[in-house]
Amino acid sequence: MASYSSSYWLTASLAFILTLLLLLLLGESQAQLSSTFYDSSCPNVSSIVLDQVQQAQNSDTRILASLTRLFFHDCFVNGCDGSILLDNSSTIVTEKDAVPNNNSARGFDVVDNIKAAVENSCSGIVSCADILALAAEVSVNLSGGPKWSVLLGRRDGTTANITAANNLPGPRDNLTTLQQKFNDVGLNDTDLVALSGGHTFGRAQCRSFSNRLYNFSDNSTADPSLNSTYLATLQNNCPQGGNGSTLNNLDLTTPDTFDNKYFTNLQTKEGLLQSDQELYDTGASTASIVDQFAANQTVFFESFIAAMINMGNISPLTGSNGEIRSDCKKVNGASEQYTIRMAVKDLSSAKA
């Protein structure tokens, strides 16, 4: 039997301990988001979010799609940290003023109402980032879409990133650009097509796709991938030189229902945005996924749930990182910090 020195056993023991610690840390990081995160600390949070969203829906049919979009626009910028909700301040340049969000992103008042209701029930517990995640799931389900267990436990960021917000996946992006932007945050082609299926409800302004209607290229006055009848309808809704803010249904078939009609629209060249139709353009690598979702709504719903969970896992702040904002529009202590800075500035001016 071979004999080993004490130094060997010490080295082996240390290696074992380090491996065990690494496994524990990995397990902890993977378990930081959980569908049961608030079961003890704020057990009614899901029902509160549902109640507030239903109240908003009573007076605004668009709000369900708008809330779902907010979650998307939040997660693609610095991860799912509620940064899209922050207003301008002395330290924050708001993402709300980014081109994809300005006069477009909406539902902030509903998020504020949800936050106020949640705070009344369990103060200082639930993050604004998690409220966005819960509101998106509720909105999809209320529109006829699937229901899923939302992973929770995110904390709120204390910074915003308008530069990244200006580089969100956009309505005029081609497929290669879309794939790169999704890949940059760890999402694949199935995630891309499934999340694009979120355009099965909601509206888009004429300015988002008017480039497809007039002077699309040197060789064509309109995007040749547009169904000619649909093109005429859109040109009537969005005349050249007209109001760029006029709203159009993203899904011309069932505009307020979450279903798979978005994908059958793509098959008949009736995708509203260029980024939509790109998924089914000639030779598109994503066309087979579109066909699959168009043929089977259940498959689309299952893939959409997986994609929403994947997107919700983009760089969340957990543990002691970030904070739980008391007001979703500003970081904690922002007013006090501003007051102190102004007092220091006034004092300096007086001394000068």
pLDDT of residue 348 exceeding 60: no
109 and 202 share one domain: no
Residue 13 is assigned to a structural domain of this protein: no
Question: Which residue positions form the known binding site for substrate?
Answer: 169
Segment 111-133 mean pLDDT: 98
On whether the CB atoms of residues 258 and 201 are closer than 8 A, the answer is: yes
pLDDT at 12: 52
303 and 326 share one domain: no
48 and 109 share one domain: yes
pLDDT at 1: 42
DSSP H helical ranges for 208-286:
228-237, 261-267, 274-277
42 and 143 share one domain: yes
Percent of the chain with pLDDT over 70: 86
On whether the CB atoms of residues 231 and 213 are closer than 8 A, the answer is: yes
212 and 95 share one domain: no
Residue 317 is assigned to a structural domain of this protein: no
Residue 61 is assigned to a structural domain of this protein: yes
Neighbours of 40 (CB within 10 A): 8
Structure tokens at 164: 């990244």
328 and 299 share one domain: no
Q: In the structure, what pLDDT confidence band is assigned to residue 215 with cuts at 50, 70 and 90?
A: confident
Residue 192 neighbours by CB under 8 Å, 6+ apart = 178, 179, 182, 279, 286
pLDDT of residue 323 exceeding 90: yes
141 and 260 share one domain: no
146 and 257 share one domain: no
Segment 190-203 mean pLDDT: 98
pLDDT at 91: 94
pLDDT at 170: 97
First-to-final CA distance of the chain? 85
53 and 122 share one domain: yes
pLDDT at 272: 98
Residue 7 is assigned to a structural domain of this protein: no
336-340: long-range contacts, CB 8 A cutoff, minimum separation 24 = 337/90, 337/91, 338/89, 338/90
On whether the CB atoms of residues 307 and 138 are closer than 8 A, the answer is: no
What 3-state DSSP class applies to 34? strand
333 and 259 share one domain: no
Active site residues: 73
Segment 190-211 mean pLDDT: 97
Amino acid at 337: Q
Question: Which residue positions form the known binding site for heme b?
Answer: 199
pLDDT at 338: 43
132 and 231 share one domain: no
pLDDT of residue 238 exceeding 70: yes
Q: Which domain holds residue 148?
A: 32-168+322-351
Q: In the structure, what pLDDT confidence band is assigned to residue 15 with cuts at 50, 70 and 90?
A: low
Residue 187 neighbours by CB under 8 Å, 6+ apart = 195, 307, 310, 311, 314
Residue 177 is assigned to a structural domain of this protein: yes
124 and 255 share one domain: no
pLDDT at 174: 96
Query: Domains in the chain: how many in total?
Result: 2
Q: pLDDT: is 158 or 347 the higher one? A: 158
Segment 120-137 mean pLDDT: 98
Residue 134 is assigned to a structural domain of this protein: yes
